[in-house]
């Protein structure tokens, strides 16, 4: 700023800095909210994947038990495939 100080310019600059600060704070708040939502979303996805994995293992084990009655070789194959 140049001297003599222009009161209108000071007022507009001050308002501009206040608005910039408010915008920056709002952006930081939104970033925190978004980060929290992403963490919750990832947690839900991980839980869903673990549940599906558990369900798949149980299904494969059930097929393995059923095949015992049919053929020992099929039963062992299903148990081996379950590990992948």
Give the whole-number percent of the chain exceeding pLDDT 70. 77
User: Is residue 57 domain-resident?
Assistant: yes
Closest by CA to 75, choosing from 56, 59, 62, 58, is: 62
User: Is residue 1 domain-resident?
Assistant: no
Residue pLDDT, tens place only, 8-23: 889 999 999 999 999 9
Cα 28 to Cα 84: distance, rounded to the nearest angstrom: 44
Cα 83 to Cα 18: distance, rounded to the nearest angstrom: 61
3-state helix, strand, coil in the chain (%, to 5): 85, 0, 15
User: Is residue 31 domain-resident?
Assistant: yes
Mean pLDDT for the stretch of residues 57-84: 70
Across 19-23, 44-48, 78-82, least confident range: 78-82
Domain extent, residue 64, equals 7-82
Total number of domains in the chain? 1
Distance of CA 15 to the CA centre of its chain: 38
Q: What is the pLDDT of residue 51?
A: 80
Residue pLDDT, tens place only, 29-39: 999 999 999 99
User: Is residue 43 domain-resident?
Assistant: yes
């Amino acid at each position: 700023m140049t001297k003599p100080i222009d009161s209108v310019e000071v007022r507009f600059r001050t308002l501009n800095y206040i608005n910039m600060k408010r915008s920056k704070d709002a952006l930081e708040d939104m970033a925190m909210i978004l980060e929290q939502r992403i963490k919750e979303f990832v947690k839900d996805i991980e839980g869903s994947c673990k549940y599906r994995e558990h369900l798949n293992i149980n299904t494969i084990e059930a097929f393995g038990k059923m095949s015992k009655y049919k053929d020992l070789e099929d039963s062992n194959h299903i148990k081996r495939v379950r590990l992948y």
